[in-house]
Amino acid sequence: MTPGREPLRDVTDSEIRVFTDDGVVHLPGILPGAWIDLLDGPVDETIADPSVTADLTALGEDLAADLGSEPLIDPRTSGGHFLSGVDHWRHHEAFAAFATASPLAEIAGVLMGAGHVNLYEDSVLVKEPGTAEETAFHQDLGYFHLTGDRICTTWVPLDRVGVDTGAVAYLRGSHLTGTVYRPNWFVTTDPLPGTEGEPVPSIRPDDDHPDLIRFEVAPGDIVVHHAATLHGAGANLSPSRRRRAISVRYCGDGVRYQIRPGAPTKPHHSEVSSGDMVVDHPDCPLVWTRPPG
């Protein structure tokens, strides 16, 4: 049975202001635990299937061998793997339910001040114990074929996450610059071939920067960041604790398509042009509408 759409609590006015000003907000204790329970097994099944999940640790090794790239490695640990996949909602009913029928869409809509919300994609992000790879600083917007202010990522932990297990670090206020940064490979700062944009500033997750913020999070918490907010994550230094998370990305009213050269495409992008308004589509479905009044 699918859990309900209602969050455990309302998003507060203060949290909306933090999201608007900082470009990221931590929402503790807002997601019912039944949703975490629903996803626990499917996440493990997904990362065990190489046909739907990429091994980013192996990718970093290949990039180093083929292109002379320098992977972002924490020398204090090794042996684990950084695993990632995208668009699981298209093929698995548990992920589809989470992306379309959980409290996430409403939470995103409230934070963005949206009248309606469309689903853009989901992603599984796992750092097994001892994973040495950092997640290179990047901006989600550079990977998305979208433009507008109401675009966000919800980051949902399935495990307790702290600095030692690879907490995400966010550059507070970086969404306000209006800059679109060139997307990279996540395990190296090298940009994706054929992409455009400004180079990402040289930042590491453990830098001593006054605007770099991190959150200790637990299952039931959500971190939501604006698609233009710069962020990255550390290695998983723990010898025994996993760092599993699901990201679901949403967009709201006023968002248009912006086809970005070199960025990964989705099937329906062949049907749209830059400047087209995002509307309800099977590949980008409408998942929440603000109630009247």
Q: The whole model's pTM is what? A: 0.97
pLDDT band at 69 (very low <50, low <70, confident <90, very high): confident
- The reported pLDDT for the residue numbered 199 is 96
Residue 223 within any structural domain of the chain:
yes
Residue % of the chain over a pLDDT of 90: 96
Residue 8 within any structural domain of the chain:
no
Residue 2 within any structural domain of the chain:
no
Residue 4 within any structural domain of the chain:
no
- The pLDDT mean for the chain works out to 97
Residue type at 85?
A: G
* CATH code assigned at 194: 2.60.120.620
Residue 1 within any structural domain of the chain:
no
Beta strand residue intervals within the chain, DSSP E: 24-27, 54-55, 82-86, 116-127, 135-139, 146-147, 151-157, 168-171, 212-214, 222-226, 230-233, 243-252, 256-257, 286-289
| Domain range enclosing 231 | 13-289
Q: Looking at per-residue confidence, does 66 or 155 come out higher?
A: 155
pLDDT band at 289 (very low <50, low <70, confident <90, very high): very high
Domain total in the chain: 1
pLDDT band at 78 (very low <50, low <70, confident <90, very high): confident
pLDDT band at 194 (very low <50, low <70, confident <90, very high): very high
- The reported pLDDT for the residue numbered 16 is 98
Examine the pLDDT at 66 and tell me if it is beyond 90.
no
Q: CB under 8 Å to 38, separation ≥6 — which residues?
A: 2, 3, 94, 97, 98
| DSSP string over 59-79 | HHHHHHHHH-----B-TT--S
Residue 172 within any structural domain of the chain:
yes
Residue 6 within any structural domain of the chain:
no
* Residue-wise pLDDT tens digits, 255-269: 999 999 999 999 999
Examine the pLDDT at 101 and tell me if it is beyond 90.
yes
Examine the pLDDT at 108 and tell me if it is beyond 90.
yes
Examine the pLDDT at 293 and tell me if it is beyond 80.
no
pLDDT band at 25 (very low <50, low <70, confident <90, very high): very high
**Is residue 17 within 8 Å of 7, Cβ to Cβ?**
no
- CA proximity to 252, closest of 149, 128, 139, 100: 149
Residue 118 within any structural domain of the chain:
yes
